[in-house]
Each structure stands twice: as structure tokens, then as C-alpha cells.
Structure 1
């Protein structure tokens, strides 16, 4: 019990050092990623960043693969996995999400897939979601998020212009509810639920973090805003009906019978 508590505290340190939007996404993931017991279910985290969500899934009892093209981030994730004694439950291979079919993960292997704030970076998002569906077992679950098309910009760059080629930045502003549902359903991923995350308080806290970071550096800006975080956590969800969420979220189930185009 003490060891598990220590691991969770250490993981929390990795998670909370980001902006509040990251915490919002982890809260959303936890709603649909139940704590596993027995044989660890297989999970793949597409575009895993520095591996925080993959590590969190492993702490919840999953065997997690975090995929990214970024060698530095993957090395950081592997180091964190060792610190948490999770290297036996996690892998962080280097790979391109645009070419999932070429990677040796095995067909219909995973019980869960995470695709968090990744599809907006990829021009052929339909191929991305189709490839993810191929990796899921029948009945497997996709947990998805992307920017909401109608969010209010936090920074000037949120409004574009968006490049016509993949540069690492967003190639589209985001997705509407209809667009998310159509994207998932055309890939034989039955959309169970669509929602929103990161309301007014979370967005404003993130805006303030970005502004202060330019003036005093990220670490000091993060410390200065730390007292606001409990308020954001407690009250932000009540603003979602009054202010557009920054992210649109979805949970989808892979159909038992795959329909290909």
C-alpha cells in the first residue's frame, strides 16, 4: 500500500507540471479507464507526449504502449517508468502515428486505445482512426479527444492560419460533434458518448500560465498559479454549459464486424 501511494504521488508530480488542460484530460480518461485487476489489459497511447497517460494507465493495472516519434520524449518516458517501477508494464517505442499499419503491434491486439489531442495534427485523420480501429480487439474501447472547433482561442495561434502540410502544428482548428461522430463511425467505431472538457476557468488559467511564462519563465509562472489549481478543479466543470469547452471528447467501441471502405 505504501509503495502504491508513493508511485501515485510521484506520477502526480509528472502529471501536474503541465497546464490544467492536461489534468482535465487525465480526469476524463480515468472516467472510462477502470482500474484493472487480474491479467493486465493491453492499451496503446497514440501520440503519448512524454508518456504521462501511459504511465497512469500502467498504475491502473494496464500493460501500456506509448507511441511517439519524439526520441527525447520517449527517453524521458522510459526514465519515468523506471522510477515508478513500471518498466515491466510499459513500452515506449518510436513510431509515426501516420503509419500505424506498418508498425509491428499485431492486428486486433489492444483492449483500449488512447488518442488524445493527436488527430488535429494529422491531415489524413480518417486513416489514423481506421488504423487505430484495426489495432483494437472487437469490442475494444477508444478514448478520444481533440480541440473543439468552436472553442474560444486561448492564444493568437489557436485561430490559425493552419498549415496545409504536417509540420507538427495543428492542421485544423478542431472538430464539431457531427465531425467527431462521422469520423469514428466511418471507421467502424461506434460512438457511445461525446462530451467536452476544459471550461472557462481551465482555459483562463492556461492563458495566464502562457502569459506569465513569457515574462518570468515556466517554472516560476507555474508556482505562482499553483493556488488557483484547486479552484479550477472544483468549479471548472460548472462552466462548460456557459462557455465552449476547449476539447471535445468521445468514447467509442470497435464494432464486432469491421466494415472497410
Structure 2
């Protein structure tokens, strides 16, 4: 049994009406409209997201690699979400050796990860190195009071302001921003971003 930390999404232990579950699943179905080729799910947790991508995109993806630093989560994912296109590996998203070990990807997904990471620059550098030229990153994070400021969430280093979130992706050729509230995801341009708790960036290298 995989330990529930209070933030971990384990669909088998949750009701279908659980808001956290629905919000997380919605992001993977949003991403499924974009992905193709070799896909990395960075900080894949219990593995349900990589499984959604493998199942729903099986005709357009060649491989889905889920990476998480929690050994128990990786073991759980392998046992619960087997799919012939999917591989689950133990690894730290800030490990500088990771790009050399994993190679290049056409798509990288990283949902609700960056707010947990103090070594933000190393994390983003790893992503950029592993993304092929012309590849796409889809990354999400909750908005908050800003970098370095307490946010009241036990497992979060901080929660970025909208402006800080946008600045993360200056090295990409093209970036589209979206906002999410519950299962609703829509372009950031149609509303005031600060009215929404979470941002999603779709970045093309």
C-alpha cells in the first residue's frame, strides 16, 4: 500500500467526486491533446497520469517514461499501472546526471512539481536539456505569494506569483499560458489570471 502524504493522488483510494483527483486527472487529459512521440512524466507519483497518457495516446506516442524519487511510488506505479508503452523509474528531478541517463524527449509533462523544489534552476535546466529541439513542455503549478515566501502548504517550498511563473519560460521559442479552477482549464488571455488558483504553461523549444 502506497502511503498517502495528504497531497499524493492515489485514485484507488479516492472517491470519483474527490476534487483533487478530478483536478489532477483533468490536466493529463488536457495534455493528451498535445503529446506525441517519446513522453516524460516528471515526478510521476503513483503513476496514474503516465497511464492516462499511454492509454489515451497509444497511437501517437512511442514511449511514456515516469520518473519519481519515491521508491515506493515507483514500485506502486509498476504494479498498478502496467502498460507496454510505459516505464517507471526512480530518479530525482534535480539530479544533473539525469539528462545523460534518460536521453531526449518529444514531450515533457511536469504537474504540481516545481512548488516542491528548492533547486528550481537545476530542475528547469534538466527539463530543457532533455527536451528535443521543437519539443514541448507542459508544466503546472499553483499561484501564491511568491518565491521565498511561506505559503501555508507543508510540502511546498513556496508558490509563485503569476509574473514569476511567466518568467520561468523566457528561453522557449513560444509559450501559451492557461489557468485552471477545478476541472476547468482555459486560455489565460480570456480572464484575469489572479482569479484562478493554478497556472499551466505549454512551451515549445
Task: Please indicate the TM-score interval, normalised by the length of the shorter structure.
Answer: 0.7 to 0.9
Instruction: Tell me the distance in 2 between the aligned counterparts of 1:147 and 1:247.
Output: 4
1:125 alignment counterpart: 120
> Which residue of 2 is the match for residue 31 of structure 1?
30
Task: Tell me by how many angstroms 1:35 deviates.
Answer: 7.4
Secondary structure of the structure 1 residue equivalent to 2:33 = coil
Alignment of 1:7-86 (within 5 A): 14=12, 17=15, 19-34=18-33, 41-59=37-55, 60-61=57-58, 62=61, 63-82=63-82, 86=83
Please give the secondary structure, in 1, of the residue aligned with 2:102.
coil
Cα 1:247–1:192 change in 2 (3 A) is same
Q: TM-score, normalised by structure 2?
A: 0.76
C-alpha separation in 2, matches of 1:17 and 1:130: 37
2: CA distance, partners of 1:77 / 1:71: 10
Q: In structure 1, what is the equivalent of residue 168 of structure 2? A: 183
Higher helix share: 1
User: How many residues are paired up?
Assistant: 183
- Alpha-carbon distance, 1:17 to partner: 4.5
**Secondary structure at 1:192's aligned position in 2?**
strand
Question: Hey, what does 1:136 align to over in structure 2?
Answer: 131
Moved more, 64-73 or 13-22: 13-22
Change (3 A) 1:253 1:16: farther
Give the structure 2 partner of residue 105 of structure 1: 102
Equivalent residue, structure 2, for 1:252: 203
Measure, in 1, the Cα distance between the counterparts of 2:178 and 2:13: 22
Aligned partners of 1:121, 1:110: CA distance in 2, in Å?
23
Q: Is the 8 A contact 2:44 2:67 kept in 1?
A: yes
Structure 2 partner of 1:170: 156
Going by fraction, where is strand more abundant, 1 or 2?
Answer: 2
Bigger relative contact order, structure 1 or 2, given CA contacts below 8 A and separation 6+? Answer: 1
How large is the Cα RMSD of the aligned pairs?
3.1
Question: Of 176, 179, 182, which residue of structure 2 is paired with 1:193?
Answer: 176
How much has 1:16 moved relative to structure 2? Answer: 6.3
What are the ranges of 5 or more consecutive residues in structure 2 without an aligned counterpart? 1-10
Unaligned runs of at least 5 residues, structure 1:
1-12, 152-157, 163-168, 203-232, 255-261
Task: For residue 184 of structure 1, give the secondary structure of its aligned residue in structure 2.
Answer: coil
Residues 133-155 of structure 1: CA deviation (Å, up to 9, x unaligned): 1101111111100111259xxxx
Q: TM-score, normalised by structure 1?
A: 0.61
1:142-157 matches, within 5 Å, as 142-149=137-144
Q: Quote how far apart the aligned CAs of 1:241 are.
A: 5.9
Kindly state the Cα deviation for residue 98 of structure 1 after the two structures are TM-superposed. 1.1
Q: Give the C-alpha shift of residue 170 in structure 1.
A: 0.9
Confirm whether residue 160 of structure 1 aligns to residue 152 of structure 2: yes
